[in-house]
Amino acid sequence: MAKKLRIGVIFGGRSGEHEVSVRSAGAVIQAIDASKYEVVPIAITKEGNWLAPAAAADLLPDKTRRLLSSRSRSGGDEDVTILGDPSRRGLVRLDTNGGPAEPLDVIFPVLHGTYGEDGTIQGLLEMAAVPFVGCGTLASACGMDKAIMKALFKGAGLPICNFIWFLRSEWERAGEKVLRRVIRQIGFPAFVKPVNLGSSVGISKATDRASLSRAIELAGRYDRKIMVEEAIDGRELECAVIGNDKPQASLPGEYVVHDEAARFLDYAEKYSSTGHVEFVVPARVSKVVTKRIQKMAVTAYQAIDGSGFSRVDFFLRPDGQLLVNEINTIPGLTDVSGFPKMWEATGVPFARVIDQLIEFAIERHRERARNETSI
Ligand SMILES: Nc1ncnc2c1ncn2[C@@H]1O[C@H](COP(=O)(O)OP(=O)(O)O)[C@@H](O)[C@H]1O
Ligand SMILES: [Mg+2]
């Protein structure tokens, strides 16, 4: 029997989406093919501490923890980290002069938001020269910053909504001027958001000057860059993409709103079963619209130089116009998330998706290693 690949699953992290990441990691560990892979759980606390594999497993949902401990070993109990030194591949023990603790074949960062999806940990993994799942540093950083992402989408000819962004310091210095500019260029209703965040945290709708001011204050609590967009009245669709140089798109899915009280898809609506919204896949659109979504999803992915996987989100206006809303370079992978469901509906079970993601990680690593480094 071939040796099992050791997969380090990193989860938790220093972000508002810590809990979602734990749930996503639980779902990945639950679905991964245990006959091919050995999972080493690696947790990062909200404060940014890296936990020993044994302590990391304790953070996982009960079901996943039991599953891990039933499979051979669940890792040591010494503190570990990853060093940006290719000769110390994998996890390194902190208390034994940096000796190797856990050689890892591939790392799967199942982290959402800041310090996980934004290129920071990807930079560390690139320095360490360990193959890892998902987008590299540049694509991750571009996919995290909504202003940069939209500039790239625009450059690729993708339709997007009107937006402007400004610095929090600008708002604090010259709030009146900022308000006038927003009202002139965007108007009402508008969506105000932190440029670098996810899961709808810090996002609110503004309908007049006073609510705009409050919305900017709120967004400014989460980021130094604040974005205001025209509010789009449309259906919300998503499409999953996987691959490196030849990305493939899944069938699209759709959030169907049953209760208009769910003003927009906020954190609670996305991650709990409130019954206000339902994720339907395939989305109820024609074959032609499906094809257009898939093509636009691949274009968006290539615009940020994506690799591994991503999820691209759209608005579909009543007149049929499609707009790209955003790309998520580490999409939610929980049991209620769109990404696994869309692949399932496309005929690829989640375990097979994970297989492919691991293959893409290794392929991308080899492709990079081909580059000459001496001149
Ligand atoms: N311009 C907009 N028009 C209408 N709804 C919006 C707009 N921007 C965001 N929303 C709503 O807020 C949700 C979260 O916004 P999004 O830009 O996707 O940020 P996040 O990264 O937090 O998911 C969207 O799914 C949608 O329901
Ligand atoms: Mg979103």
pLDDT, tens only, 60-81: 999 998 888 887 655 667 777 8
147 pLDDT higher than 80: yes
pTM across the whole model: 0.94
- Bridge partners (DSSP) of residue 105 are none
Best of 118, 212, 323, 325 for a ligand 1 pocket test (most atoms within 8 Å of beta carbon): 325
Comparing 58 with 121, which gets the higher pLDDT? Answer: 121
Q: Which two tokens stand for residue 59?
A: 């953070």
CA of 280 to the centre of ligand 1 (A): 18
Give 312's DSSP letter.
E
Best of 150, 193, 259, 327 for a ligand 1 pocket test (most atoms within 8 Å of beta carbon): 193
Q: For residue 274, what pLDDT band results from cuts at 50, 70 and 90?
A: low
The sign of the dihedral angle between the CA atoms of 204, 197, 18, 236 is positive
Q: For residue 8, what pLDDT band results from cuts at 50, 70 and 90?
A: very high
Strands 5-12 and 37-44: what pairing? parallel
CA distance 79 to 77: 7
Task: Using the atom order of ligand 1, give the atom closest to the CA of residue 231.
Answer: 3
263 pLDDT higher than 90: no
CA distance 213 to 101: 51
Among the ranges given (4-13, 54-63, 239-248), the one the predictor scored with the smallest mean pLDDT: 54-63
CA of 1 to the centre of ligand 2 (A): 42
Q: For residue 98, what pLDDT band results from cuts at 50, 70 and 90?
A: low
194 by DSSP, 3-state: which?
strand
What integer is the mean pLDDT of 262-276?
A: 63
Q: For residue 42, what pLDDT band results from cuts at 50, 70 and 90?
A: very high
Q: Are 172 and 166 in contact (CB under 8 A)?
A: no
State if residue 237 touches ligand 1 by the CB under 6 angstroms criterion: no
If you search the block for the tokens 């910053």, which residue do you land on? 145
Q: 2: how many CB neighbours lie within 10 A of its CB?
A: 6
Q: Which two tokens stand for residue 54?
A: 């044994």
What integer is the mean pLDDT of 207-214?
A: 97
Q: What pLDDT is stored for residue 99 in this prediction? A: 59
Cα 157 to Cα 29, 235, 300, distances in angstroms: 38, 21, 9
Helices 350-369 and 338-346 pack at an angle, to 10 degrees, of 100
262 pLDDT higher than 80: no
CA distance 13 to 60: 13
Q: Percentage of residues in the chain with pLDDT exceeding 70? A: 92
Task: Using the atom order of ligand 1, give the atom closest to the CA of residue 234.
Answer: 4
233 pLDDT higher than 90: yes
State if residue 200 touches ligand 1 by the CB under 6 angstroms criterion: yes
State if residue 325 touches ligand 1 by the CB under 6 angstroms criterion: yes
CA distance 168 to 315: 27
pLDDT, one tens digit per residue, over 211-232 is 999 999 999 999 999 999 999 9
- Bridge partners (DSSP) of residue 124 are none
CA of 184 to the centre of ligand 2 (A): 26
Specify the amino acid at residue 102. Answer: E
Cα 246 to Cα 73, 254, 285, 325, distances in angstroms: 37, 25, 25, 22
Q: What pLDDT is stored for residue 212 in this prediction? A: 98
CA distance 15 to 120: 12
Q: What pLDDT is stored for residue 86 in this prediction? A: 82
100 pLDDT higher than 80: no
Best of 112, 145, 191 for a ligand 1 pocket test (most atoms within 8 Å of beta carbon): 191
If you search the block for the tokens 């508002």, which residue do you land on? 16
Q: Percentage of residues in the chain with pLDDT exceeding 90? A: 73
The CA-to-CA distance between both ends of the chain, in Å, stands at 42
pLDDT, one tens digit per residue, over 287-309 is 999 999 999 999 999 999 999 99
Q: Which two tokens stand for residue 365?
A: 């690593």
pLDDT, one tens digit per residue, over 157-186 is 999 999 999 999 999 999 999 999 999 999
Strands 253-257 and 248-249: what pairing? unpaired
311 pLDDT higher than 90: yes
Q: For residue 281, what pLDDT band results from cuts at 50, 70 and 90?
A: very high
